[in-house]
Amino acid sequence: MQLTKTPNNIFVKLLLGFWLCSSLIIALIGMLPLLQQNHDQSAIPAPLERLLEKSAKRISQNPQILNSDKLTHWSRFKEFKGRPARIYLVDEYGKVLNSHKSSRSLRRFMLMADEAGHPIKHQFRDELIFGPYNFEIKGKPYSLYGRLPEHHPRPWFFFFIDNKILTLSIAIILSGLLCGLFAWHLGKPLRSLKRSADALAAGDLSSRVDMATALRNDEVGQLAQAFNGMANSVEDMVNSQQRLISDISHELRTPLTRLKLSLALSRKKGQETPEMKRIEYEADQLEQMIAELLELSRVKLNANENKRSLELAETLSQVLDDADFEAQQQQKQLHIDIDESIVIPLYPRPLSRAVENLLRNAIRYANTQVSIQAMASASASGVQIEIIDDGPGISDEADLEAIFKPFYRPQSARERESGGWGLGLAIAKAAIQAHQGKITAVNQQPSGLKINIHLPQK
């Protein structure tokens, strides 16, 4: 399937997503110095400017104070809206005339104001400094600066400027959250695709990717559409194969019936020979094999049957009675422990046939006893059924999974005397998979085989 070039493809999403994410973080961090610069160079409010202007007029009206010993005490404190304000007089060389020692904040502010080229104000941690107000006395330039030593609220971004490590940590966390959100957005349809692929691999041929994923206008959507197309083809091929097996099995029954009829007529005519008995035996074997093939096809196709919520014990009652009778005939014991309160959605006939095949297989190979028990699973997500025998088990661990394949029998069971064609366990697995369940086999210690069946509660 050829990919359509659209601006919404996955490459563009990845590029724009991570580029925009990193650009946003860089822009936010880069804006902090700009915000600080704009705040540092903001204009002086009119009331503060008038305070400096009044102080400059007083000095201009009394120029003799510049040469007085009282200069250090002159106008050092003013009232501004009920708060003390301190005024600094600075000469053309940047020396503070009315204070023996200028603070570090004032010197720093004077440099900031000189760089700005116009009167500004700046909020330090515990004080607000503003100025300069420039004026002349007898041709000499002077400047006035003011300070409000009270604490004033600082802009919010100053917190990040003063705490660079914390700002960097927040930027990393924010970048991680944005990238995580973007990754989740891209990963969600991929997770949906994986679930559908896993379900299809487990035998659920009806599994498809949801339409929300399939309708996306990017490569993920195209992949989902391709997957759904593949799943449709696989389902059609498997169903066609099962129908073919079923049709062939039906067709084989017609000549087989004629063969058995001919044998019966020959026997009536007194034509009883060892060869005729052998032909009849092989015809019976062929008929049984065809019946099992039809059953396997029927279970896999699961035609014209819907799940029903039934009691497990009641559904299996006839199968258990028959198995108990068969065990007694072989001088073996069958222990049954099934909670009668268990009710689950199931296909009665396929499940009964699956349990019947498993019990007959266990009884055949058991030495003295077989047990079957059913209980609600610990996670309350379904029902757990266990069938255990005390037979020889399966010597090769690799055979534990292969025994559920059609026509497969482990080496220990290949002798003709064992009977069967390896279809009984395949029918059981197909029936359990039709319930969206799981079946496994494990060897018991010191001997025996245990079949585990999990049926979901839905």
- CA–CA separation, 451 and 371 (whole Å): 11
Q: Give the chain's mean pLDDT.
A: 78
pLDDT category at 9 given cuts 50, 70, 90 is low
pLDDT category at 33 given cuts 50, 70, 90 is low
Q: What is the mean pLDDT of residues 9-25?
A: 69
Give the pair of three-digit tokens for residue 438.
Answer: 């799981």
Greater pLDDT, 107 or 289: 107
- What is the per-residue pLDDT for 415? 41
pLDDT in tens, 248-283: 767 777 777 888 788 788 877 777 778 777 887 777
Q: Examine the residue annotation and report whether 100 is marked as an active-site residue of this protein.
A: no
| Number of other CB atoms surrounding residue 418 within 10 Å | 12
Greater pLDDT, 117 or 171: 117
**Closest among 415, 416, 394 to 403, alpha carbons compared:** 394
Domain at 45-153, CATH class: alpha beta
pLDDT category at 416 given cuts 50, 70, 90 is very low
Domain segments of the chain as ranges: 45-153, 219-300, 306-456
Give the pair of three-digit tokens for residue 280.
Answer: 């009849």
Lowest mean pLDDT among 72-76, 291-295, 350-354: 72-76
| Number of other CB atoms surrounding residue 417 within 10 Å | 5
- What is the per-residue pLDDT for 359? 92
Helix-strand-coil split of the chain, %, nearest 5:
55, 15, 30
pLDDT in tens, 315-353: 999 999 999 999 999 999 999 998 888 888 888 888 888
- CA–CA separation, 30 and 220 (whole Å): 36
- What is the per-residue pLDDT for 115? 83
| CATH fold of 306-456 | Heat Shock Protein 90 (3.30.565)
**Range 219-300: architecture per CATH:** Orthogonal Bundle (1.10)
- What percent of the chain is predicted at pLDDT more than 90? 11
**Closest among 202, 235, 195, 245 to 435, alpha carbons compared:** 202
Distance between the two ends of the chain, CA-based, in angstroms? 37
pLDDT category at 78 given cuts 50, 70, 90 is low
- What is the per-residue pLDDT for 5? 47
- CA–CA separation, 140 and 126 (whole Å): 33
Flag whether pLDDT at 3 surpasses 60: no
The one catalytic residue in 151, 152, 185, 250 is 250
Q: What is the mean pLDDT of residues 242-246?
A: 72
Q: For 428, phi and psi rounded to 5 degrees?
A: -60, -45
- What is the per-residue pLDDT for 341? 86
- What is the per-residue pLDDT for 414? 37
Q: What is the mean pLDDT of residues 45-67?
A: 84
| Number of other CB atoms surrounding residue 350 within 10 Å | 23
Question: What letter represents residue 372's amino acid?
Answer: I
- What is the per-residue pLDDT for 447? 82
Give the pair of three-digit tokens for residue 6.
Answer: 């659209």
pLDDT in tens, 210-238: 888 888 887 788 888 898 899 888 888 87
pTM of the model: 0.50
Greater pLDDT, 434 or 369: 369
- What is the per-residue pLDDT for 54? 87
Q: What is the mean pLDDT of residues 76-102?
A: 77
CA distances from 208 to 202, 241, 254, 330, 415 (A): 13, 21, 39, 48, 43
CA distances from 7 to 12, 211, 217, 301, 314 (A): 7, 21, 9, 43, 60
